[in-house]
Amino acid sequence: MKKPLTHAPDVTLRGIGVHRGYLGPDAQRRLVAELDAVISAAPFRTPETRFGPMSVRMTSAGAYGWIADRRGYRYEPAQPDGRPWPPIPATALAAWVELCPDARAPECCLVNCYGAEARMGMHQDRDEADFSQPVLSISLGDDALFRVGNETRGGKTESLWLSSGDVLVMGGEARRLYHGIDRVRPGSSTLLPRGGRINLTLRVVT
């Protein structure tokens, strides 16, 4: 059963709202089942950038998908093979509606799959057209060490561990902060049949 809704985050980290255990065990399992349909229609890919392959595997759902390749980073309305992206999972959409009630409907749900050795370097979400719209992030599976910095590279950072079912909302001034995943704690969750961590980030693109 999902915890009672208050809209108030349990923790605020440099303006990022952290809703601990927002998705309870049943909702997490439901979301994993919904993701099976997404992955079947749009399989995970290992993005190739001009710096080499990323350590996470990615796919997307919604009107747009996020693409990373040697040409750079961008949103595309279709998969590389021309097929449309599958719909955003209903459980993820419901979290957006409850926690981002004043925002426009999300147009992309980026799905990142982390193995035991995967990382995500410090970055900004800056490929969207309207930075007044928030980014919502859902953690599933193994714990991950989330690090957040500043609006420019460098300077002091802060970190916290995210667990399965935690949801972050990055809005307002926090929308432009650099952030990343330093490491994953293998075996800390039994949610995913093959282990690891899945992160969903919903965002408005246009």
pLDDT by residue for the chain (206 residues), tens digit each?
Answer: 344 445 788 889 999 999 999 999 999 999 999 999 999 999 998 877 777 778 889 999 999 998 877 777 889 999 989 999 999 999 999 999 999 999 999 999 999 999 988 998 888 888 899 999 999 999 999 999 999 999 999 899 999 999 999 999 999 999 999 999 999 999 999 999 999 999 999 999 99
Strand locations in 63-119 (E): 65-69, 72-76, 108-114
Pair of tokens at residue 123:
């970055």
Sign of CA dihedral 117, 69, 38, 165: positive
Q: Is the pTM of this model over 0.85?
A: yes
CB 86 within 8 A of CB 37: yes
Architecture category of domain 11-203 in CATH: Sandwich (2.60)
Instruction: Give the span between the Cα atoms of 156 and 41, in whole angstroms.
Output: 41
Q: Is 182 helix (H, G, I), strand (E, B) or coil?
A: strand
